[in-house]
Structure 1
Amino acid sequence: MSSADNKAKRASKNLYQISPSATEYQRLNRQHELIQEIMMGKVFHSPVKDPIRILDVGCGTGAVTYHLGSTFPSAQIYGVDLATIPPTPKKPDSVTFIHGDYHDLLGSEDPYITPGSMDFVFSRLLISGMTTWPSYIRTCHTLLKPNRWLEIQELEFPYYDDSGVISNDWEWFQAYQAGAEAKGLDLSCAVRAADWMREAGFVDVQTKKYCWPHGEWMAERGHEEYRNIGIFLTTEQPRLYQAIVPNMVSGMGYSDEKVKELQRDVLETLNPEEGKHKNYWVTFGKKPS
């Protein structure tokens, strides 16, 4: 492991941008429902068949973990996260939650997470915490059995409209990007995942792009499945980035007043407009035999 990877690994436990809370769990669960809605009922795209063990990395509230448990009732499902997963009386016996760091899955010493043990590895929206993407993907390759699948779902950070990228000149966006880079985060991970998978040895790598619209314009263009997420993002994205900005730019020399100015800029730039959106990428590939 390189010195950069070691540095990122040591820092990883401090990279949660939003502290776990009942409100944040509610937001994440609603977000899960809306992602499933724009995917026309799907949660994952990999052609998973007859799995015995599945790993959900960075499982958050456990929404995907529970879905995998109900979809594959004969499989053992493991969800790993640094935060404590909120309890639920409906947790299936086949679901096990592991408190651990997704930067160091093979070093977890957990008896369930071993080389060649998994039939499917899934992760979603690690963009604000993952600092070692290539080595993470190589680790997933090691964890998988031959002919089994890895799926990564990530958000591409720039905002677009019908003409192309529109966010490069936003002051808060520039500060956010610089802060992310200083923390070892890669805001281009969504579009780089396919190449990283191929470099790690995955084959049959496929991608699918979904729109995260800022407003209801996608529904008004005939894609009704995007209406609810468009309404949700119009409210939640400004609130989310206002909350994240202070942590993302910490240590960069900004005064408290300047940070507040950046937070005001979030509100000014994230008003709903025709065509405004981010891209959400699904990337999946198979470990060869």
Structure 2
Amino acid sequence: MDHTNKPEHAAAGPAGPIPQDSTASTPSSASDPESDFDDNDSAYGDSIDGSDTTSIKSIITQYRYENGRRYHAYRDGAYWAPNDELHNDQQDIAHHLWLLTLDNKLYLAPITDPHNILDIGTGTGIWAIDMADAFPSAKVIGTDLSPIQPEWVPPNCIFEVDDALLPWTFPPASFDLVHIREMFGSVEDWDELYRQAYQALKPGGWLEAAEHSVTPVSDDGTVGPDHVYTRYGAVMNEMGRKRGKEFDIWSQVKECMERQGFVDVVEKRMKWPMNGWSSDPKMKDIGRWNALRVHQGIEGFALRLLTNIGGWSYTEVQALSGQVKAALKDKKIHGYLDVVVVYGRKPEFAV
């Protein structure tokens, strides 16, 4: 077995976006996120009636279990992370992190009075629920491979089990806003994904995409080539390439959207510190929540890919995860993740 990049077992180591008040509660994992690291039914749409629907529901909820973690069953293996409660809580922490990053805005695109909103890869559905609350006259649809969204949702919010990489079945020119967030490592053809979003949008509608890097870097050299952050990012990107589903798409989003015909494309680049090392109050807060997110999620981020694709053992993945968790506590290391939000408009007279 090739141990390249595996853990060293003996070593440590456009303007005018419209503000919205989110109705989501702060994740319950921590009041002080950086100091509270702890290791320790769904609504969805059906397009089939009768006994076929019952059979489909049964298949969808017969989840896969590997190394003590739960994964989606529909389109098994298409997505790389778990869908169990531990990972879902991490997703909700990430939602709070995005709100902190965007100054409590759910989106940056200059939409006004939307009637139909689509959230691709909705996960726990928290963004879609917040949007439904913010726009009670709009219909909000969230799609995902897993039916893990809550049962009690606003009446104008629905969830559907669907694979966004298959041909979309929504009528053309249906939506005012298509939202895609953190689909990295899950998409073989980003041009095709954005093409389908373009077709689904009404003329004048907006696509907004938010992604981040999986490779922490630093501006002062404290994250060097041998640091665990660097090794983790390198192996995750290697696994993504082997699957044909890149992780480091964040720097290519703007170009991909422009290739599909979007205009007025705006790219906003930001940073997520890996812990509370920054002296800037906002960045310090973002870093503390990011540290909590990574601490809680790191095993789920790495486990399936490294064991199934990379040939690692469970113990080796745990060793790498432990090194990342230890690094999160070191404020002398000024690591951060690159973050991007890109939004673009379908031309008014497009077909």
What are the superposed Cα offsets for residues 66-96 of structure 1, whole Å, 9 maximum, x if unpaired? 121122211111111111133243x111111
Contact kept? 2:83, 2:148, Cα under 8 Å: no
User: Cα RMSD over matched residues?
Assistant: 2.3
Matched, 1:204 2:267: no
Partner of 1:3: none
List structure 1 runs of 4+ shifted beyond 6 angstroms. none
Shift of 1:263: 3.7
Partner of 1:252: 310
Matched, 1:279 2:341: no
Partner of 2:165, secondary structure, is helix
Partner of 1:60: 123
Partner of 2:65: none
Go from structure 1 to structure 2 and tell me whether the alpha carbon gap of 1:167 and 1:237 turns closer, same or farther (over 3 Å shift): farther
Q: Which runs of 5+ in 2 are unaligned?
A: 1-73
Shift of 1:197: 0.5
Shift of 1:211: 1.4
Contact kept? 1:203, 1:287, Cα under 8 Å: yes
Contact kept? 1:45, 1:284, Cα under 8 Å: yes
Aligned equivalent of 1:97, options 146, 159, 171: 159
Partner of 1:161, secondary structure, is coil
Q: Which runs of 5+ in 1 are unaligned?
A: 1-10
Listed as ranges, the matches of 1:2-17 within 5 Å are: 13-17=76-80
What are the superposed Cα offsets for residues 192-232 of structure 1, whole Å, 9 maximum, x if unpaired? 000000000000000112211111123x23xx233333223
Partner of 1:172: 232
Shift of 1:12: 6.1
Partner of 1:27, secondary structure, is helix
Partner of 1:283, secondary structure, is strand
Shift of 1:143: 0.6
Partner of 1:118: 175
Contact kept? 2:132, 2:140, Cα under 8 Å: yes
Matched, 1:26 2:89: yes
Partner of 2:147, secondary structure, is coil
Go from structure 1 to structure 2 and tell me whether the alpha carbon gap of 1:34 and 1:239 turns closer, same or farther (over 3 Å shift): closer
Aligned equivalent of 2:111, options 2, 23, 48: 48
- Report the structure, 1 or 2, having the larger strand content: 1
TM-score of the aligned structures, taking structure 2 as reference length: 0.70
Count of residue correspondences: 270
Shift of 1:119: 0.9
Partner of 2:298: 241
Partner of 2:26: none
Partner of 2:214, secondary structure, is strand
Partner of 1:157, secondary structure, is coil
Partner of 2:309, secondary structure, is coil
Structure exhibiting the larger radius of gyration computed from Cα positions? 2
TM-score of the aligned structures, taking structure 1 as reference length: 0.84
How many angstroms apart in 1 are the aligned matches of 2:225 and 2:196? 33
Aligned equivalent of 1:36, options 85, 91, 99: 99
Partner of 1:163, secondary structure, is coil
Go from structure 1 to structure 2 and tell me whether the alpha carbon gap of 1:12 and 1:212 turns closer, same or farther (over 3 Å shift): farther
Shift of 1:13: 4.1
Report percent identity of matched pairs: 24
Partner of 2:44: none
